[in-house]
């Protein structure tokens, strides 16, 4: 799941692959703003068929948070 999420983040945020780690802060390390968050969530839904509800998005801090949420709520479907 991490690799898929990583690819989606790199594609949507135009950031370096090496910068996208499980511990990377979305706002500080990857410079994600609120509009980027909405776009990223839409891309996750398009690519994986599953997105995070808006009330969850506000609590997501790291790439790892996204991966863990998707694995827990989507069963880790590949």
Catalytic residues: 33
Task: Please tell me the distance from the alpha carbon of residue 29 to that of residue 16, in angstroms, as a whole number.
Answer: 11
What are φ and ψ of residue 25, in 5° steps?
A: -75, 130
The C-alpha atoms of residue 15 and residue 59 are separated, in whole angstroms, by: 22
22 strand-pairing partners: none
Non-local (6+) Cβ contacts of 29 within 8 A are: 19
């Amino acid at each position: 799941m991490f690799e898929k999420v990583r690819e989606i983040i790199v594609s949507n945020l135009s950031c370096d692959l090496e910068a996208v780690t499980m511990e990377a802060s979305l706002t500080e390390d990857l410079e994600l703003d609120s509009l980027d968050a909405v776009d990223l969530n839409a891309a996750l839904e398009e690519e994986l068929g599953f997105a995070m509800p808006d009330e969850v998005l506000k609590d997501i801090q790291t790439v790892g948070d996204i991966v863990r949420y998707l694995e827990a709520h989507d069963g880790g479907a590949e």
